[in-house]
Chains A and B, each alone.
Chain A
């Protein structure tokens, strides 16, 4: 049976490219040659700045998050937050654990949003 399958599959009929095929290819290639090459993103130059920014941002966010969680746990307004939030914080509905979880969720959402915006920005620049 192997021989029979070999015979059938090896005996595949050849097709000829259409008459204008090579001309069409050359037209595409000529157009490509006239197009200036895309300027690559200077990753090497940008890398130190990106790393420093990312680390600084992470540190700031972490500090803010820790401070916020601690302050919410103690039913106090974090130092960095406006004073008008005090009555809101003292509302009985605001269980410290729920608020802390909410703060973390908000932080996660913010980070996700930042990642989406950054990647969209990079992709649109490369396209």
Chain B
């Protein structure tokens, strides 16, 4: 057995301290070691964005980062997006605009869209489409996702 690595990080605003084998991806670390299954696997090779999380202010495909790499970092996942009892505006507009069908890509889109609006509160439609091009959705045709992001930007 390979020796596990100790990792201390901030996850959704709370300190975490855990052991993980050095070859385990951040995606599997979140899902299997830390019990946060809201982050989804679509391809496990960095091409669909379903596993998008925010790592130190940047969005990454968590399947392409090792769990051991987040030592000392701050990670935000879908589970940390809403405040208790109150959805993030993007979560609310995704619901109002019917911006999800099966929902498997939704956590990744929400994390990616939040990173955009945190950086640029009023992006153009083309900017939204460009920013979200790393997240695949096969159900919606993206139309309602783009509109939900636009609506959340208007509310801000």
| A and B physically associate | no
